[in-house]
Structures are given as C-alpha cells and as structure tokens.
Structure 1
Amino acid sequence: MAAQTQYEELARQLSAIGAVKRELSRALPQDCPPASAVVLMLLDRYGQMRMSKLAELMTIDTSVTSRHVAHVEARGWIDRRPDPLDGRSRLLRLSTRGETLLAQVTARYTEALATHLSDWSDDDVGRLNELLARLRASFDEPRSRDCAARPAGSTARTPAHT
C-alpha cells in the first residue's frame, strides 16, 4: 500500500486534471459542451439505451442527464424511439448528425492530445492509458463505493476490506 503522502500528492494531481479537461474542452465545437460529447461517446460505444442507463454510465442523476439529452436532441445529434419492450419508455440512439459530430470531436480531441503530448514516448502514452483505465476500474469496484461512503477518519472495515 502506498504511503499517505503519495495519496495526498495523487489527490493534488487529480485536482489539477481539471485544467487538462478545460483545455481539451476548448477543442470542442462551440455548441457542444463536454457533457454533450460524453453523451454522444457513450451512445456510440454502447449503442441505444434508456435514459436511466445513460445516467448510470455518466454517474450522474437522471434529471441532470435529461438536460444533457435535451441539449443534444435539440441539435439533432440523437434520436428518441419507443422501446419495443416497453412502449412507455424511450430509447436514445446516435443520429447520423451525431455520428458526424462525434467524428469531429474525436479528431479534435486526438489532435489536442497529440499536440500537448508530442514530447511523450509511445510507451509513456500507453502506460498513462493503462494506469487511467486501472484507476477508473478501481472506482467501479464495490469496495471503492464502500470506502467513499464511510466518513473521513472512519476505521470501520467492511467484509471487502478484511
């Protein structure tokens, strides 16, 4: 297990990632905020889905997801269709216009990353990808949610921690 000071430095570095995200968001088209790009990316990656599934993937409340979906739908980037399994529900899917925009967004993000990381080796970029994927996966584990739910300073251990 890493030393406490390493976790403190990691917390500082993760806080600084906000600046990286802001810089990358400048590469987005004017009417496509980062959350809209995430909606499009998730629909592209996972295919059509209900609003509740999208909210789960975005790890945000359904009401917030609904606002993001309304934004992308108003621009014609997604379609809503009746769910054949439940006519009361709607399935969201990427439209042709959304696919075109997502291709632009992907190209712009890729170019921005390539520009900012031009002095990095392929191995360094690959390692960063691996470590970020591993970090994300660690927060997807039930044990991580148990830790986050405990008050700061709590020493209570759950079965997952023993």
Structure 2
Amino acid sequence: MPEQQVLLGIEAGIAALFQSGRSALRDYSRLFHPELQPTGFTILRMIFACDPAQAGTVIQQTGLDKSAVSRQIKVLRDLGLIETRRDPHDGRSSFLVPTPLAEQRMEALKQRMKRDYRDRLAGWTNDDLIAFSTLLERFNSSDPAA
C-alpha cells in the first residue's frame, strides 16, 4: 500500500478515535453528574490527576482559556464536586481538591469505564492490547506541541 494511502488511513482512524473520545467524554460527564459539561469533567479529571491542583496548572495542562476554567471551577464548586484549600506554605495561594462526593463518583465511573473498555476490547489478545497501548503512548509522546 502506498505511503500516502497509509497516512490518509491513519488520519481517518485518528479522526474516528477523536469522535469516539468526544462521545465518551459527553457520556461520562453526564454519568458523573447530569449538570456537568464535558469541559467541566475534563477540568475535574485534571484536578484528580494533580490533587491538589492550582487553577494555573489546570489552565496550562488543559490548554483552556482562563475565563472558561474559572467558570467551570465555579460550576464544580456549586455542584459540590471540588473545594478550595489554602496552601499551607503560601497563604496567598490555594489548591483545588475533589470532595468526598466527587471521589465516590469518580471511583464508580472508573469501574464503568473499565467495563466499557473490557467489553470493547474483549476479542483482543493480551499481545494486541500491549501493542495498542505501546503504540498509543508512542504516538502521543511524539506530539511536538505537547
């Protein structure tokens, strides 16, 4: 198969993967909380990943606009999913942390995600899964913008 055709096939596959990911993000956001938008869920996942997280870190890591992050942080607070804690080493700074409610819901959602991926990949061999994971990691780490 000619290289150009292979590259176009890769692009089409990545576009389909992106669309599938967006759909999953919408679904998982709704499952997490019916009023949570995908952007808010993305921010919440970043807060979980950094726990605790500063707003500036969330902005930097997600690439979202500062005002969009601020709005979503307010929504997350209003929904009882995050709280703000003062930095014990610097009283001028604060951290965003998930609430116990958010931790409980995230654990339940992680179990759902595992089931979903287990179902989707049921016919794959262990070698297939390892190769897929390795290639995804390699592809994502090759992004010069990352």
Distance 1:75 1:91, change over 3 A: same
Distance 2:69 2:99 in 1: 18
SS at match of 1:87: strand
Distance 1:77 1:18 in 2: 27
- Verify: 1:7 aligned to 2:7, yes or no: yes
1:137 alignment counterpart: 141
2:75 alignment counterpart: 71
Aligned length, in residue pairs: 141
TM-score by length of 2: 0.79
The CA deviation at 1:53 is: 0.3
Gaps of 5+ in 2: none
Distance 1:112 1:41 in 2: 18
Gaps of 5+ in 1: 149-162
TM-score by length of 1: 0.72
- Verify: 1:103 aligned to 2:107, yes or no: yes
1:158 alignment counterpart: none
Structure label with greater radius of gyration: 1
1:24 alignment counterpart: 24
Identity %: 21
RCO greater where, 1 or 2, for CA within 8 Å and sep 6 or more? 1
Give structure 1 regions of 4+ aligned residues with deviation exceeding 4 angstroms: none
Distance 1:90 1:22 in 2: 31
Kept after mapping to 2: 8 A contact 1:37/1:105: no
